[in-house]
Amino acid sequence: MQELVSLLLPIAAASGWYAAKRHYTRKYLLDHDRSLGRTHYRGLNYLLDDPRDKAIGVFARWLPEQDYETLETHIALGNLFRRQGQLEKAIEIHESLVNEPGLSEPQRNRVRYELGMDYMRAGLFDRAEAIFLDLSHKDTHRKPALEQLLHIYQQEKEWAKAAACTRQLLSFANTPRGENVAQFLCEMAEEALQLGRQQQALEHVAEALREDPGCVRATLIKARLALANGAYDEALHTLRRVETQNPAYLSEIVQPIVVCYEHLADGQSLGDYLEYLYRTYGLLEAAVKFAERLRNTSGATAAAGYLMRVLEAKPSLQTLSRVIDLLTLPEGTDRIPELKGVGIGRIGLAARRLLADTPRYRCAVCDFSGVVLHWRCPACQFWGTIAPAF
How many C-beta neighbours within 10 Å does residue 146 have?
21
Judged on CB neighbours under 10 Å (0-12, 13-18, 19+), 65 is exposed
H or E element that contains 90: helix 87-98
Q: Is 165 annotated as a binding residue?
A: no
CB 45 within 8 A of CB 13: no
Amino acid at 87: L
H or E element that contains 211: helix 198-211
Rounded to whole angstroms, how far apart are CA atoms 306 and 290? 9
Amino acid at 367: D
Q: Is 363 annotated as a binding residue?
A: yes
Q: At 162, give phi and psi (nearest 5°).
A: -60, -40
The secondary structure of 232-285 as a DSSP string is: HHHHHHHHTTHHHH-GGGGGGTHHHHHHHHHHTT-HHHHHHHHHHHHHHH--HH
Q: At 269, give phi and psi (nearest 5°).
A: -65, -35
**Exposure string for 183-218, b = 16+ CB within 10 A, e = fewer:** bbbbbbbbebbeeeeeeebbebbebbbebbeebbbb
Strand bridging mode 369-370 / 361-363: antiparallel
- Nearest-10 crossing angle of helices 52-62, 34-49: 150
Please report, in range form, the residues annotated as the binding site: 363, 366, 377, 380
Please report, in range form, the residues annotated as the binding site for Fe cation: 363, 366, 377, 380
